[in-house]
Structure 1
């Protein structure tokens, strides 16, 4: 008897599944769809919502080739069919064909955009398929077709098509040269006016499949704004939106705003991603930790000190309920606009000698590098989950960084005076607690093939404007 196995094909994402078929003289039994076992074996967790059966009474019934806007899991309950598939997705594998006989002990996983066809070899044949979206006339309007007899694809039909039973519609489908490729699902960047959103826009400049939207187009803190937004075209959502005013989050109004964006808004994005089968990239923060660990791994339990950290931790937990997610956790972010590095450079140039906290440690993260890391995870198809991303190099304090900025702009670093957190905030009110250590362990992102830039090198480039 076969063992459950999932095998690749020349068409990316098209998979052949060997199904165990225990039986005796009375018949057989199979687990046609068993989520836990099949996902463990390598099948995508594609979330089927509809089960269809095509009953074919005669040998030679031939249907296709149709590329549909959903994933399909195909099998037969009775009979035997010859299945054929053509990659109709935009890209280098467009036109790649594959064929395989489907019997009760074989199933096929067909990803969105791959054209599907079959021919009945043994009748009656009950051809069954699970799909992960509900059929509608609007969805059918998105189908792409290619002719069953296309000479380029050259499918070796066991029963010649002139002897098979085809519909007039299928006979009229275009040749491959005239077929409309299924476009790549688009990428949506939410929070496009923020410093990370702008860095992502620069990194993906020239990509026609990326939409970067600001709060005016999509305000995740506003239920009506999210409800009115059309997420259907998007296969990837990158959440660069957040309430990041750490001290303001400790006020009554700021607390509500932080929860609205960082928790309820994130929950709305998660549900949109779930409904439309999109990957979600969510940017997290070192503030989900209390800073007592010298270096934070991705698996450390949450222990936020203030409201901002609490909302970010809650948002991370919600994102983790989505199977296809990346939580990109970062620290001490530097990008466009006002930030610590620019402030220190300005103070140095104006002849001001600052007192800077010397007992909070970590590493900077430059938004250009954060954008590169997000792109890397998406393009490589890295394993879903949480990844720490920051600059590499020695762990330093804010005072150490201030001294280095002074040195790089030609000022005397001795003009910077390190002080304790307690001293720095003495007499000030409305200050959120900060983690003492914000340093992130980078082993997981490095193992995924991404090499974080050295902090000092990145700092030099940032200050030089290159």
Structure 2
């Protein structure tokens, strides 16, 4: 008998992510009415906003009809339209709860949210029972589906009607036992731009996870017209976009302007559409160049953007596009140093060769080492703090480029006075090619990223360690 007047409420089970829900059902002499799916109320009550795309109904003539145990690569919201069922769920996902079982009786006043990879089965307790599925992906013959035998002795489901008297399909009778089931793997992570400085650091940060794939432009070109078809995107939980056009001066040329907009905006927009369509978390790396550098304090995440040059304009536009993705993290960073050509390596090399330098002293910020930036990316992806924009740089003192150069000289045993301080205008006075305008103040406020448990490394210490590693790697 359907119970009327319940409050909307989630009830956890032994399977992580599987929740049984009490639903308000309103009844009178005519019958009953319920809101089977009400996004605003249910999400507010704690249901994942899983983005359903298809609704299926299973009608069952006889009491004792039994279907399952099936695990598909999508989430399901399951409820009963008429009749009653005994529901059984088995965790078939790879991990410590593989094989865990939960059961519950469902009538029109109860529903269940079944996460991807959890096996679903039911047995009707009344004739003429209608069982409805709301799912967030479409069936595909190319997808991987996992099944478990209804009579498996390991999970030992206590069916109300013994299976020898129940109505089963031949396929369900023939499914494998738990010992022969390959666990459903987690959705994957894809790192784009894996050949760049940050991409190489991300390879190290994710070296312990086989579920992370790495792609460079030859594998996945964001500007290609067939981007939607180059991967089975529904297999991915997270995309980390470390690909970008970063040649700030070249972006001021006609060819560079087009290339910068194509990579940093058009390609990012295509990626954002894919992430939104397939419920993917999109992690995107931004830049201090979205600001004009006139602020007299470190920039916060909510400060309005005001880019000076083409590169900054494209990064600001890309940020706005990524911000439309329901699940997104934008990491705004500055002065990136990693495995590859960079300012610190150049200073160390010139110092070692006896070259005296002129370095600008009117641009201020903090270095960001890719080891720190990749660690921040993994922290956000693993810990899942609120989605949005986070500033990420090294911690410690704000310095000018000349300050950094002098510190590099000193750390590798050279006289820092060999570095002459000059203004940006003086430094570029004789430049023959277009020069992008630089923000004077590139310092970013780190309070928000620290508030979610990430502790940036101190820039002074990291610089010393970096130079030591570089010296060791080059045999100096």
TM-superposed CA distance for 1:206, in Å, is: 4.8
Contact in 1 for aligned 2:284/2:329 (Cα 8 Å): yes
In 1, the alpha carbon distance for the partners of 2:347 and 2:333 equals 21
2:80 matches 1:71:
no
Query: Which of 339, 342, 353 lines up with 2:342 in the alignment?
Result: 339
Would you say the 8 A contact 1:75–1:107 is kept in 2? Answer: yes
Task: Quote the Cα distance in structure 2 between the aligned partners of 1:180 and 1:356.
Answer: 59
In structure 2, distance between residues paired with 1:297 and 1:97: 47
Q: Does 1:243 align with 2:248?
A: no
Which residue of structure 2 lines up, in the alignment, with residue 50 of structure 1? Answer: 54
Secondary structure class of the residue paired with 2:128: strand
CA–CA separation in structure 1 for the residues paired with 2:407 and 2:209: 37
C-alpha RMSD of the superposition: 1.8
- CA shift, 1:427, in A, is 4.0
CA contact (8 A) 2:227 2:270 kept: no
CA distance in 2, matches of 1:225, 1:71: 25
Give the alignment of 1:322-333 within 5 angstroms: 322-333=325-336
Alignment partner for residue 24 of structure 2, among 14, 20, 24?
A: 20
Query: By how many angstroms is 1:229 displaced?
Result: 4.3
Written as runs of structure 1 = structure 2, the 5 A alignment for 1:270-309 is 270-293=272-295, 294-309=297-312
CA distance in 2, matches of 1:149, 1:76: 24
* Alignment equivalent of 2:111, drawn from 104, 107, 112: 107
Are the structure 2 counterparts of residues 158 and 224 from structure 1 closer, same or farther at C-alpha, using a change threshold of 3 Å?
closer
> Which residue is 1:41 aligned to?
45
Q: Aligned pair in 2 of structure 1 residues 211, 137: CA closer, same or farther (>3 Å)?
A: closer
CA contact (8 A) 1:219 1:226 kept: no
Deviations 1:23-75 (A, max 9, x none): 33333322211112222222222111111011122221111100011111111
- 1:2 and 1:164 mapped to 2: Cα distance? 31
Q: Displacement of 1:7 after TM fit?
A: 3.7
* Correspondent of 1:353 among 356, 359, 379: 356
Aligned length: 464
Task: Check if 1:159 corresponds to 2:161.
Answer: yes
| TM-superposition CA deviations, 1:57-104 (whole Å, max 9, x none) | 222111110001111111112111111111111122211111122222
How big is the shift at 1:464? 0.4
Alpha-carbon separation, structure 1, partners of 2:190 and 2:450 = 26
Which of 419, 423, 426 is the matching residue for 2:422? 419
Would the aligned equivalents of 1:55 and 1:125 in 2 still touch at CA under 8 Å?
yes
SS in 2 for 1:404: helix
Q: Structure 2 CA distance, aligned partners of 1:195 and 1:80?
A: 58
Paired residues for 1:45-444 under 5 Å: 45-139=49-143, 142-224=144-226, 227-293=229-295, 294-428=297-431, 430-444=434-448
CA displacement, residues 139-172 of structure 1 (integer Å, 9 cap, x when unaligned): 4xx2101111222212222222222221121111
Distance verdict in 2 for CA 1:148–1:230, change over 3 Å? closer
CA distance in 2, matches of 1:350, 1:114: 62
Equivalent-residue separation in structure 1 for 2:360 and 2:261 (angstroms): 28
Residues 1:38 and 1:260: Cα distance change in structure 2 (over 3 Å): same
Whole-Å Cα distance in 2 between the matches of residues 44 and 9 of structure 1? 15
Q: Do 1:220 and 1:226's aligned partners in 2 also have CA atoms closer than 8 Å?
A: no
- Distance in 1 (alpha carbons) for counterparts of 2:164 and 2:257: 71
Q: Are 1:187 and 1:211, in contact at CA under 8 Å, matched by a contact in 2?
A: yes
Mapped to 2, the partners of 1:3 and 1:352 lie a distance apart of 75
Bigger mean CA offset, 16-25 vs 168-177: 16-25
Deviation of 1:178 after TM superposition, in Å, equals 0.9
* In 2, Cα distance between equivalents of 1:4 and 1:426: 68
Change (3 A) 1:9 1:289: farther
For 2:322 and 2:21, how far apart are their aligned partners in 1?
30
Q: Secondary structure at the match of 1:282?
A: strand
With over 3 angstroms needed to count, the CA separation of the structure-2 counterparts of 1:114 and 1:352, relative to structure 1, is same
Q: 1 CA distance for matches of 2:184 and 2:306?
A: 45
- CA distance change for structure 1 residues 301 and 4 in 2, over 3 Å: closer, same or farther? farther
- Name the SS for the 1:138 alignment partner: coil
Are 1:218 and 1:226, in contact at CA under 8 Å, matched by a contact in 2? no
1:16 and 1:203 map into 2 onto residues whose CA distance is 37
Q: Residue 3 of structure 1 is aligned with which of 7, 10, 22?
A: 7
Q: Which runs of 5+ in 2 are unaligned?
A: 471-476
Residue pair 2:68, 2:120 contacting (<8 A) in 1 also: yes
Consecutive unaligned residues of structure 1, counting only runs of 5 or more, are none
- What is the CA–CA distance in structure 2 between the aligned matches of 1:448 and 1:112, rounded to whole Å? 27
Q: Deviations over 1:185-233 (max 9, x none)?
A: 2221111111111111122225322221111122112224664444353
Q: Secondary structure at the residue paired with 1:29?
A: strand
